[in-house]
């Protein structure tokens, strides 16, 4: 039972009696140090190696399995050009839609290339700080205060670059300023800490000749939390910081000392943030969390369990176990964050209608007011108090143009924010050429964007009554609306005339809505915020007997897929020969071998479990084996240590 030099793709040792897959290597493919070749005491052919992450090898199975190429995928080689180009991205000043981009940071936008990101996860760690309380003493303490890596070329997905196909005849949409694109959307990567490894150690003490096994367990990896920070009102901070990694658990040590728990990482989000799994292939990811109330705290990803040290493997039959486990890998995920305002009342209307002026008249908010369209890019919030305990949050939203539902003007950007408002205040510019036409056009936009929005109760406010042209057209406008059963208000937001009535009318509508909605809100509070982590934990505890077998006839590869068994592979530390025996036993016991035979596996076929690739060897009839082969049907489950 000792390491041998690597001997790729050859199982030189004649197989013993067991019908079992034997392991072959795929040199150069490992992202961590490759376990060398081992030979078990029983003489089973044994060359181990780890595969690159599934995504990588599934890209090109021919590379992996065709004999001519010797199945090499050198991750570091393939990723070099990608990384280089990523690093060489020019960080120059140039403007985009009026917003200056600068070197320092957050207004620099590039499309994220997820592939690059993932490569850089393990290939270029230079510019990142990862919490790691692992073995490496030099790292300890250093990183403790720096939780997140500073993303030097903070990239973000250009969600609304306006480069969608524009049909002929249609006006090409102008790019939306970067600030708008990113204040309410973000794409981030979260990873829980890996568990620390268990170790093999034996007690050594004077006068204790046979000190027992004393290798301690690894510590748990750090968790990833999401916390609602009431002081945040945008997702802009995520332009700088995209990766959030919790610390890895400390490795176990001698004298049964367990490793320390990895440091947690906390992702702060603004109230009203909706978290989804990242979009894939244009399809919106699964909704994970809606975080509304400041102070809400959700455990998103639980850290990996620490691997057991050899002290934990001691049993009646094996008093000197030379085996320890790797720590379990922490879960990882790409997430799409979206901020939806939690305003009660949204002020909508065409650009330059006086929405911001109205907000500043009725609340203490001081939004920018200017005589040109699209002054407001980000919604402004103001608290309007009518009375001691009667308040409402009012949002002044960016202007709405005809065609907004197709992305004209600030388009969808704006409309999304209205989704959470209970009541809308529709401001019409009385000084415009045809106020009633403007009113109809904006209403139509709302309806086209979402019928749900159009159904929200609203009041209509005719603004700029202090101007003669507006004053003149008021009667016509009022008649036009009354014909549709709407009773508009007329105000001069600038002079604060008539705004009082508007506030009261809006509040009344809001009260009605609040009453009607009471129940759903209670329901929201009852939602288990930790359900994502719970699901992950549940998967982790899934039985090893739950697996499926897929056959890829082109490469003659058998994929054994199952959370339990894959986790087993991941946590197996192939450094120790006993690990191999344990693994073979596990395959036998949980029925993988049997089921492979049933499906017709043949000599020389490839069997893939998790990151492990093996070669199947048929039972050698000459060696009497039937007696030694157990027909186990029992289930192997992970002990519930987590």
**At its nearest, how many Å lie between ligand GTP and the CB of residue 418?**
14
In 3-state terms, what secondary structure has residue 355? helix
Q: Which residues share a beta bridge with 20?
A: 617
Name which of 265, 58, 235, 54 is nearest 157 in CA terms.
235
Please identify, using beta-carbon distances, which residue of 309 and 398 lies nearer to ligand GTP.
398
Please identify, using beta-carbon distances, which residue of 66 and 368 lies nearer to ligand GTP.
368
Rule CB under 5 A: choose which of 241, 375, 511, 545 binds Mg ion.
Answer: 375
- Binding of ligand GTP at residue 464 (CB under 6 A)? yes
DSSP 550: E
Give the largest Cα separation in the chain, rounded. Answer: 107
Please identify, using beta-carbon distances, which residue of 376 and 566 lies nearer to Mg ion.
376
- Binding of ligand GTP at residue 507 (CB under 6 A)? no
- Binding of Mg ion at residue 373 (CB under 5 A)? no
- Binding of Mg ion at residue 376 (CB under 5 A)? yes
Helix (H) / strand (E) containing 57: helix 54-59
**At its nearest, how many Å lie between ligand GTP and the CB of residue 106?**
23
Report what 357 binds from Mg ion, ligand GTP, none; CB cut-off 5-8 Å by kind.
ligand GTP
Please identify, using beta-carbon distances, which residue of 361 and 565 lies nearer to Mg ion.
361
**At its nearest, how many Å lie between ligand GTP and the CB of residue 397?**
8
CA distance 9 to 22: 11
CA distance 485 to 180: 36
Rule CB under 6 A: choose which of 326, 492, 572, 593 binds ligand GTP.
Answer: 492
- Binding of ligand GTP at residue 426 (CB under 6 A)? no
Number of helices (H), then strands (E), belonging to the chain: the values are 15, 23
Residue 276 and residue 265 in contact, taking contact as beta carbons nearer than 8 Å: no
Please list, residue by residue across 323-335, b when 16 or more beta carbons sit within 10 angstroms of its beta carbon and e when fewer do.
bbbbbbbbbbbbb
Tokens of 583: 């693994």
Please identify, using beta-carbon distances, which residue of 274 and 377 lies nearer to Mg ion.
377
Sheet containing 345-349, strands listed edge to edge, beginning at the edge strand earlier in sequence: 380-385, 391-396, 345-349, 423-429, 458-463, 489-490
Residue 151 and residue 89 in contact, taking contact as beta carbons nearer than 8 Å: no
**At its nearest, how many Å lie between Mg ion and the CB of residue 186?**
24
321-350 positions binding ligand GTP, by CB under 6 A: 349
**At its nearest, how many Å lie between ligand GTP and the CB of residue 367?**
7
- Binding of ligand GTP at residue 352 (CB under 6 A)? yes
CA distance 233 to 340: 10
Strands 606-609 and 557-561: parallel
Please identify, using beta-carbon distances, which residue of 375 and 542 lies nearer to Mg ion.
375
Please identify, using beta-carbon distances, which residue of 375 and 391 lies nearer to ligand GTP.
375
Torsion of CA 633, 635, 636, 641, to 10 degrees: -160
287-306 positions binding ligand GTP, by CB under 6 A: none
Report what 244 binds from ligand GTP, Mg ion, none; CB cut-off 5-8 Å by kind.
none
Report what 354 binds from ligand GTP, Mg ion, none; CB cut-off 5-8 Å by kind.
ligand GTP
58-97 positions binding ligand GTP, by CB under 6 A: none
User: Which residues, 6 or more positions from 15, have their beta carbon under 8 angstroms from its beta carbon?
Assistant: 22, 43, 44, 45, 617, 618, 620
**At its nearest, how many Å lie between ligand GTP and the CB of residue 97?**
15
Alpha-carbon separation of residue 492 from 352, 371, 382, 397, 433 (angstroms): 14, 15, 19, 19, 17
Binding mask 353-392 for ligand GTP (x = CB under 6 A): xxxxx-----------xxx-xxxx----------------
CA distance 415 to 302: 35
Q: Which residues share a beta bridge with 489?
A: 461
- Binding of Mg ion at residue 356 (CB under 5 A)? yes
**At its nearest, how many Å lie between ligand GTP and the CB of residue 468?**
10
Residue count at the site for ligand GTP (CB under 6 A)?
A: 24
Interface with Mg ion (CB under 5 A): 356, 375-376
Give residues in contact with ligand GTP (CB under 6 A): 349, 351-357, 369-371, 373-376, 398-399, 463-464, 466-467, 492-494
């Amino acid at each position: 039972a000792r390491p041998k030099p690597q001997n790729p793709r050859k199982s030189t040792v004649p197989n013993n009696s067991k019908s079992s897959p034997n392991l072959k290597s795929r040199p150069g493919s490992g992202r961590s140090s490759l376990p060398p070749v081992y030979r078990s005491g029983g003489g089973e052919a044994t060359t181990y190696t780890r595969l690159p992450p599934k995504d990588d090898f599934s890209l090109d199975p021919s590379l992996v399995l065709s004999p001519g190429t010797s199945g090499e995928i050198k991750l570091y080689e393939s990723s070099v050009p990608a990384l280089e180009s990523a690093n060489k991205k020019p960080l120059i000043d140039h403007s985009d839609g009026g917003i200056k981009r600068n070197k320092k940071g957050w207004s620099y936008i590039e499309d994220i290339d997820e592939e690059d990101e993932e490569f850089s996860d393990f290939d270029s760690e230079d510019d990142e700080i990862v919490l790691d309380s692992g073995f490496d003493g030099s790292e300890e303490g250093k990183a403790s205060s720096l939780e997140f890596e500073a993303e030097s070329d903070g990239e973000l997905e250009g969600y609304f670059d306006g480069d969608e196909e524009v049909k002929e005849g249609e006006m090409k949409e102008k790019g939306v300023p970067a600030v708008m694109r990113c204040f309410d959307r973000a794409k981030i990567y979260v990873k829980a800490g890996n568990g620390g490894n268990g170790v093999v150690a034996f007690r050594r003490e004077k006068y204790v000749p046979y000190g027992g096994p004393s290798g301690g367990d690894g510590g748990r990896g750090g968790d990833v939390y999401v916390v609602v920070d009431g002081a945040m009102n945008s997702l802009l901070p995520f332009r700088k910081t995209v990766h959030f990694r919790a610390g890895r658990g400390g490795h176990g040590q001698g004298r049964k000392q367990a490793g320390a728990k990895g440091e947690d990482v906390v992702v702060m989000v603004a109230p009203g943030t909706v978290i989804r799994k990242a979009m894939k292939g244009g399809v919106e990811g699964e909704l994970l969390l809606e975080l509304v109330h400041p102070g809400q705290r959700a455990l998103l990803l639980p850290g990996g369990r620490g691997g057991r040290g050899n002290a934990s493997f001691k049993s009646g039959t094996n008093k000197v176990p030379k085996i320890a486990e790797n720590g379990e890998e922490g879960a990882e995920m790409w997430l799409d964050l979206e901020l939806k305002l939690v305003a009660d009342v949204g002020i909508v209307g065409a650009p330059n209608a006086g929405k911001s002026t109205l907000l500043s008249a009725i609340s203490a908010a001081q939004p920018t007011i200017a005589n040109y369209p699209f002054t407001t890019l980000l919604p402004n919030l103001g608290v309007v108090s009518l009375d001691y305990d009667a308040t409402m949050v009012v949002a002044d939203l960016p202007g709405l143009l005809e065609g907004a539902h197709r992305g004209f003007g600030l388009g969808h950007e704006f409309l999304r924010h209205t989704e959470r408002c209970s009541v809308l205040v529709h401001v019409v510019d009385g000084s415009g050429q045809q106020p009633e036409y403007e009113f109809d056009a904006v209403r139509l936009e709302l309806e086209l964007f979402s019928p749900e929005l159009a159904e929200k109760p609203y009041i209509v406010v005719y603004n700029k009554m202090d101007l003669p042209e507006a004053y003149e057209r008021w009667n016509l406008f009022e008649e036009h609306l009354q014909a549709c059963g709407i009773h508009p208000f007329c105000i001069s937001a600038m002079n604060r005339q008539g705004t009082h009535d508007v506030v009261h009318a809006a509040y009344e509508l809001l009260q009605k809505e609040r009453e009607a909605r009471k129940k759903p809100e209670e329901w929201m509070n009852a939602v288990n915020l930790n359900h994502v982590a719970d699901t992950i934990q549940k998967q982790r505890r899934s039985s090893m007997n739950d697996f499926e077998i897929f056959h890829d006839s082109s490469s003659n590869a058998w994929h054994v897929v199952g959370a339990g068994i894959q986790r087993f592979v991941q946590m197996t530390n192939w450094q120790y020969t006993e690990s191999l025996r344990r693994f073979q036993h596990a395959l036998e016991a949980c029925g993988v071998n049997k089921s492979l035979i049933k499906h017709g596996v043949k000599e020389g076929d490839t069997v893939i479990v998790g990151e492990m690739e093996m070669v199947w060897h048929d039972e050698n009839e000459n060696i009497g084996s039937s007696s030694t082969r157990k027909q186990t049907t029992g289930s192997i489950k992970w002990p519930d240590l987590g």
